[in-house]
Amino acid sequence: MKSLLMHLFNGRIMSPWWILAIDLLLTANAFLLAYTLRLNVALADYSVWQMMRAGGWIIVVYLFAFLLVGSFRGVIRLTNYIELKRLLLASILALSVLMGMEAATLLFDFEWVDVSRLVLLMHFFLTITFCFGFRMLVRETYAFLTHKRGSVRTLIYGTGDLGIITLEAITGDSANQYHVVGFVDDDPSRWNVTFQSLPVYSWERAIELNRIKHVEVIILTQPNLSVQRKQEISETCMKLDWKLKVMPTVGNWVNGISNRNQIRDIRIEDLLGRDEIHLNQRRITAGLEGKTILVTGAAGSIGSEIVRQLLRFPVRNVLLLDVAESGLYNLQQELLLSYSDAPFEIVIADVTNLPRLRSVFERYRPQLVFNAAAYKHVPLMESFPYEAIRVNIGGAKNLADLSVEFKVEKFVMISTDKAVNPTNVMGASKRICEMYIQALSQRHDMMTTRFITTRFGNVLGSNGSVVPLFKRQIDQGGPLTVTHPEITRYFMTIPEACQLVLEAGFMGKGGEIFVFDMGEPVKIDDLAKSMIRLAGLKIGEDISIKYTGLRPGEKLYEELLASKETTLPTHHQKIMIGKVRPQEYSQTNKSVAALLAAIQYESGELLVARMKGLVPEYVPLNSQYSTLDSVTNN
């Protein structure tokens, strides 16, 4: 019997016409009840013929109202308040017509609806109650027959709209694993009450009741929860062996996946990110509207996110330039799926190939350039300094020079915190890029292009970031490799970094180095331990941490500003202007050109020595080039 009913409701055997017939039957019963109630109250002497004639007209009018509004076409087992709105609309329409007919009966002595208005009003409310009650009865019966309560005892953190959606997604899915035993909310006005027939607790009370409830999972459904609060909740969950999961906001759901499957494990990015960034949308829109924009390194993690951010604005065209064809193809397919009519073009080119770059500028005439193309892996660049010079410095110089030649309005370069007091080749190469960009912006004949440099630390999830490495190592069973127990790094999420790049790009007047507020530095050792716990594993038992020693060019901590530099605040609390020493164009250009020419014939040691001459604060650390300092000092 149970399987038969489930098949009946799952398949559309109960067609809309059956629902219409049942609605009309309920409408007729509502009239009989309203008529009887009125008769008992007023003791009026109505004949059976009068009742049948009036009832017939009422059923005909409601039939046409139901047909016109389509209130019978919904799937009953999915009934919600939209169905109630449709029933209300159809019933109000029918009541209005019947009231008019009743008035005509009195005025012109027609024998149409010869019943009082009280009967019509009572019938109106009874019809809505019966028809909607029928739908709710079917829905709840279906839910009872098909519901399979999960075995994982769960608390939903948040009683807002997303919390309700989460509860409905869990209870409405026969394959769910969760058994929701209550809600948690930070709002005291909601404590000690029931919400959707479930109790609501404070966080502290939920912890106390753990012995009784035996909670296993917490699902966060409050999108505006501060990062600090998420961290506090995460720490508590780790201590209590609760698994912490997240229900993303509806706008971040993956298409084609059921609501229940949107619930995911909390990620380290959720705990290391910062609170929402508020951008000057008006200024950015004004700066981007109708513009052709070139993004280099577009296949990379930073470049691709800049592209995604740009396509949210009314741009004319976004040029995605990179030498990595596979990465560009993947990004192209993603954008075609997410932004079907997005104005973008793929450009496969090498930033070190000046003639090819020139042809791109000649064809597209970009008005804005975002340069995210660079080699960023510190240990690899220690082994191949000529590549760091050729790509990072040579590519940036090509793009900057062409921007001046083709009168680009604004050039934004992505730099790094490793450019401050650099201890490695990669950081020194980015500092030389900064110096050349600054020198170019201070040229006396520089009247058109405004050069902006943005400097920030590590981004979570980027290519080469420690987070993806740790995830892979956890999946493989470990160990997690940490270079030093005391090593610290600044972290920022990719979207946050790119949003700040856009903001800084349109607040700069030219020549500035914008430094982003990276928050507090994070110990990599603590990060590794947190990721192990978030994976539900125990350190030392399920998986271990191995300390491998500092890599070539690596230092224990990063800096955002050199010791001789200071910062000035801007109108955005997370963006500061670094006050750095000025660069004279003629000498800087001559030195950079000589360095680029030298990669054709000089050894790595000699190239690094040239870099040290350009960047006096560059002191190789834990590197094969460390001997250059002793040679220089002698």
16 alpha-carbon distance from chain centroid:
40
Burial class (CB in 10 A: 0-12, 13-18, 19+), 356: middle
Residue from 268, 234, 238, 602 nearest 465 by CA: 268
> Could you tell me the sign of the dihedral formed by the alpha carbons of 588, 592, 597, 602, in that order?
positive
Cα–Cα distance for residue pair 240/16, rounded to 1 Å? 51
Cα–Cα distance for residue pair 510/504, rounded to 1 Å? 11
What would the two tokens of residue 113 be?
């609806």
DSSP 391: I
Q: Residue 627: CB partners within 8 Å, gap ≥ 6? A: none
What would the two tokens of residue 334 be?
């993603």
**E strand or H helix that includes residue 25:** helix 16-42
- Residues assigned a catalytic role: 418
DSSP 461: T
Q: Residue 320: CB partners within 8 Å, gap ≥ 6? A: 295, 298, 299, 303, 307, 328, 331, 332, 344, 345, 346, 347
Q: What is the DSSP pairing of strand 410-416 with strand 368-371?
A: parallel
String of DSSP letters for 111-158: SS--S-HHHHHHHHHHHHHHHHHHHHHHHHHHHHHH----SEEEEEE-
Any idea what the Cα angle at residue 204 is, between residues 202 and 209, rounded to 5°? Answer: 90
Contact 153, 170 (CB under 8 A): no
What would the two tokens of residue 15 be?
């067609």
Bridge partners (DSSP) listed for residue 184 = 157, 201
Cα–Cα distance for residue pair 94/33, rounded to 1 Å? 18
Distance, first Cα to last Cα, the chain: 95
Contact 372, 298 (CB under 8 A): yes
Any idea what the Cα angle at residue 415 is, between residues 409 and 421, rounded to 5°? Answer: 135
What would the two tokens of residue 103 be?
């008035």
